[in-house]
Amino acid sequence: MTDAFSLDGYDVPFTGGQTILQAALAARRYIPHLCYHPAFRPHGSCKVCTVKVNGRTVASCTTPARAGDEVESESPEIRDLRRNLVQFLFVEGNHFCPSCEQSGQCMLQAVAYDLGVTRLHYTQMFPDRPIDASHPEVLLDFNRCILCELCVRASAEVDGKSVFALSGRGIRKHLIVNAESGRLADTNLAVTDAAVSVCPVGVILRKRRGFAAPIGQRRYDPKPIRAMDEPADGEEG
């Protein structure tokens, strides 16, 4: 008999070692998330995947699945918590979706739509982080970074280069490149590196590729992010 937990009233099967988020996504039950990527060990930096397990609030990407657990993901309380987290991410950086090359392909934008975030609730901080266009094939817009660390981990664990890192603490924490000059051109980053393609927002951009996909054909245009993962009504997950 397969072990399972309850997610908003649906039974979700899991195998040993899976987290709640991994099991839910495998069963095509969507839980919003940003910093999770199946290629890396979850570390729960963004907390957008927060759920309640037996009444206790936890990050679903780092919490092991357990048989019989009652998991709440779509309650008003949890959705409000996620909405606040996403609103904080928008005001901590400079995210102007209509003019962004990643509009329609950005996970932050897609998750915001899913949560009903259509305007900013908090005062914008307008960070001033210079754009790095020094590399011949890759542009960095540090102003859009959400500190998910995916590029840091991809560069270190997959590419074996450690091109990216996070520096500072608290509100001063920011993305940097591993070069004395601070310029991407002075690193050994290649456009084919995993770190270039793993960013969920619009920080790491390939040059001469901006707005290549027309509106209607972008990643999240045909279906919202939730519809890509969840089964249709009546369909088994």
**Is position 219 within any domain?**
no
Shared domain for 187 and 120, answered yes or no, is yes
The one-character DSSP state at 175 is E
**Is position 223 within any domain?**
no
Shared domain for 110 and 66, answered yes or no, is no
- At residue 234, the pLDDT reads 41
**Is position 236 within any domain?**
no
Statement: residue 237 has pLDDT above 60: no
Q: What would the pLDDT profile of 80-106 be if each residue is shown by its tens digit?
A: 999 999 999 999 998 999 889 999 999
Query: Using 50, 70 and 90 to split pLDDT, how confident is the model at 232?
Result: very low
Statement: residue 210 has pLDDT above 90: no
Contact 61, 36 (CB under 8 A): yes
Which of 53, 74, 95 is where one domain is finished? 74
Q: What would the pLDDT profile of 125-167 be if each residue is shown by its tens digit?
A: 888 888 999 999 999 999 999 999 999 999 999 999 999 999 9
Q: What would the pLDDT profile of 164-203 be if each residue is shown by its tens digit?
A: 999 999 888 999 999 999 999 999 999 999 999 999 999 9
Contact 51, 71 (CB under 8 A): yes
Contact 60, 36 (CB under 8 A): no
CATH of the domain at 41: 3.10.20.740
Average pLDDT rounded to a whole number, residues 71-81 = 97
- At residue 128, the pLDDT reads 85
- At residue 171, the pLDDT reads 84
Distance separating alpha carbons of residues 33 and 31, to the nearest angstrom: 6
- At residue 230, the pLDDT reads 53
Query: Using 50, 70 and 90 to split pLDDT, how confident is the model at 229?
Result: low
Which of 52, 74, 96 is where one domain is finished? 74
Global pTM reads 0.91
Statement: residue 1 has pLDDT above 70: no
Statement: residue 31 has pLDDT above 80: yes
- At residue 197, the pLDDT reads 95
**What would the DSSP string read from start to end of 183-201?**
-GGGS---TTSHHHH--SS
Lowest mean pLDDT of 134-143, 209-218, 224-233, name the range.
224-233
**Is position 225 within any domain?**
no
Q: Show the domain range for 179.
A: 84-206
Query: Percent of the chain at pLDDT above 70?
Result: 95
CATH of the domain at 150: 3.30.70.20
Query: Using 50, 70 and 90 to split pLDDT, how confident is the model at 235?
Result: very low
Which of 43, 74, 105 is where one domain is finished? 74
- At residue 172, the pLDDT reads 87
The one-character DSSP state at 102 is T
Contact 106, 117 (CB under 8 A): no
